Structure 1
Amino acid sequence: TSLGGDASLGGDASISWLDKASRTRLGERFPQSQSSPRLSERSLPFFEGRRTVPQDRRTVPHVPLLQVAVIGHPYTIYDEYISMDLLGKLKKYDIGVKTIEMVSNDAINKSVAELAKPMFWYYGRTAYGAVMHLARAGKVDGIICLTSFGCGVDSFINDLIERKIKKESDIPFITMTIDEHSGEAGFNTRLEAFTDMLHWRRCNEDNLPTPGEHIYRCQINT
């Protein structure tokens, strides 16, 4: 409910308005004659509190410079131990993440409908539809395929997606296999090389003016 009035008035006029607003807030019927400064003073903390900006709204939300699509089974991607904390590392590199679960069923169905044959596997269907939607919408700068199986559905779907992406776009694609023989040092090295390449592409490669000299759009802290 709007309290009306002008709180910018000074002196007694300001106290009178605050008293009127206080009584309205408290559901009381205020008289037309004299005001009650004491009631206004008691209500000051309430109105001052309403003017305070919450802590989480005092800063502009940070938007990562890059966005990466991460393909994989949920039990692989969201498990910090199995995935070697892939999502956490991407966050440290200031890279946003898009997963299959973030894409609507309508968008997935639209992308899958283009296939010559029906996709029998649920994971394959959602993975293909989600990635193709994100790539065509220009919402990702790179694609990371995280898999723990070298055979089966994963191998077929990953190869299908990679071939389709390379045919339609120049979005970088990398497959990272994790199993009992995988070491975190090698995993980190490949991930860092891939993300460094994404940053370089974003900052330099696509900004070439006519003379051929680079125009740096951003600066990477080293």
Structure 2
Amino acid sequence: MTYQCFIYDKNCFFSQGIVTLTLRLFARETLSGCAASNDYSQMVAQIRDNSSNEHHLWLLCDLDSLPRERFQALHLMRGFCQHRNKKLIILLGEHNMPLFITLYSLLPNAHWLHKKESVEYARLFFQELLHKRHNGNCFSHSLTKYTRNRLQNRTDDAISGNEWWLMEEIIKGKTLSQISCEVNVDVRRLSYIKRHLMKRLNIRNNIDLFAAIKGIIP
């Protein structure tokens, strides 16, 4: 069985580091190709390519490199990681951590790597991924630690799917009234979601909310 890797990340330096790590990892395996690109259409082509099941395909996707409407992009990936020989690895930045639980609920079959993981922990992550032939997820050390701390401290900082969707609409410059008309949802419901999000993020005004959204959804 051969392996192929495709890395989608607009940070070419990070991509090159992953390529180097991957080449070392597969020293004793058959690696037929390892490509990196910042072109979203190329990643979509990889997701939709069902021409061959004779090789294992690892698709590494940086969350921040996805188009603005990420919900749609993530739903496109759901079917990909359900294939036996295909593995989806989501690359998360530090500011994405509040989204982790929501992302996991959207992509329960994906694997998760924190982009600021040390080289040693990243290497261990890929080794575990290589030997995990069937069911089960791989989580990098920092994500495991983050989740454990949240459970121990019983913090409630995870952003829900509805809150994330509303953030994407707000950052487009839309008012709650406009969003309400477009999706046929009561504006009072949208206002409640917004207030709940502001309380969760400890934000008191719209200016700070917009700044926080820009930090979570660059």
TM-score, normalization: structure 1?
0.38
Pick the structure with greater CA Rg.
1
Structure with more of its chain in helix, by fraction: 2
